[in-house]
Amino acid sequence: MRKRIVAGNWKMNLKRKEALVLVSEVLSQISKHENTEVVFAPSFLYLFKIAKMCSDFESVKVAAQNCSKEKKGAFTGEISSEMIASSNGDYVIIGHSERREYFRETNTDLAEKVNRALANNLKVIFCCGESLTQRKDKIHFNWIKKQLSEGLFYLSVKEFDNIVIAYEPIWAIGTGMTATNEQAQEMHQFIRNCLNEKYGSEVAEDTSILYGGSCNPVNAKELFSQTDIDGGLIGGASLKADDFLSIINSF
Ligand code: PEP
């Protein structure tokens, strides 16, 4: 059965002390064996420390927000998957729309990153999503299929065990403009159908697909009750312990 996951993508926010206080507050209010997997995606700088704080919590994991497509070597400023794994990271977020847009990451780059992450036994939260123009032009389904095909669909069935997909419509990220339950469910179902077509029903049924885009304590319950939505990738609302906890408790 697929996992329910609530992951907090902190982006480039929080100073060290603020980050550690936030983690402590969340941990103090969840059980050590949550039914929902909780993931913190802090800055690389705090990853090792936060992984240590979470180590007694079976269902709390730590993610990097990005990784290099390179293995190692003369790539000043880059962070490799090997480094993330050796700092006790569990996941890496790959293909966030901010990385695609501001850092010009292509599907080919992302596929290389996915390979590097899996080679280092990291799980991947692979993001996909369309712009508002693409949705208005009714090319959003094709766009998502292309992102999945080029970014992920060269993987084997076994490798797919370590993939979580996050559907994040770009127009909903950080805008307060959440997708409606129907829009989100429709796309999640489409993604699951793509998985079924490519890999068969077992992979399709077992892969967690998260919704991201202005998810908050008010709308999380309804979004998470949709058949094909298995949790959320949360930006802004993951920076406040009460909001994040309320989203975790929305299932
Ligand atoms: C995100 O950036 O992954 C995200 C979903 O952000 P927000 O929740 O702030 O829209």
CA 168 to ligand 1: nearest atom: 5
**What is the Å distance from ligand 1's center to 248 Cα?**
15
Q: Is the CB of 214 under 6 A from ligand 1?
A: yes
Q: Where are the alpha helices (DSSP H) in the chain?
A: 16-28, 44-53, 81-86, 97-102, 107-119, 132-136, 140-151, 157-160, 181-199, 201-206, 220-224, 241-248
**What is the Å distance from ligand 1's center to 53 Cα?**
24
What is the structure's pLDDT at 31?
Answer: 82
Q: Is the CB of 80 under 6 A from ligand 1?
A: no
**What is the Å distance from ligand 1's center to 74 Cα?**
32
| Cα distance between residue 27 and residue 33, in whole Å | 11
What is the structure's pLDDT at 57?
Answer: 95
What is the structure's pLDDT at 34?
Answer: 75
What is the structure's pLDDT at 32?
Answer: 76
**What is the Å distance from ligand 1's center to 218 Cα?**
15
Enter the tokens of residue 41: 């995606």
Q: Whose CA is closest to 49, among 28, 78, 19?
A: 19
- Per-residue confidence of the chain (251 residues) as pLDDT tens digits? 899 999 999 999 999 999 999 999 999 999 877 789 999 999 999 999 999 999 999 999 999 999 999 999 999 999 999 999 999 999 999 999 999 999 999 999 999 999 999 999 999 999 999 999 999 999 999 999 999 999 999 999 999 999 999 999 999 999 989 999 999 999 999 999 999 999 999 999 999 999 999 999 999 999 999 999 999 999 999 999 999 999 999 98
CA 9 to ligand 1: nearest atom: 3
| Cα distance between residue 222 and residue 182, in whole Å | 10
Q: Which of 39, 171, 173, 223 to mutate to test the pocket of ligand 1 (most atoms within 8 A of CB)?
A: 173
Smallest CA separation from ligand 1 atom 8, residue: 235
What is the structure's pLDDT at 35?
Answer: 85
What residues are annotated to the active site?
96, 168
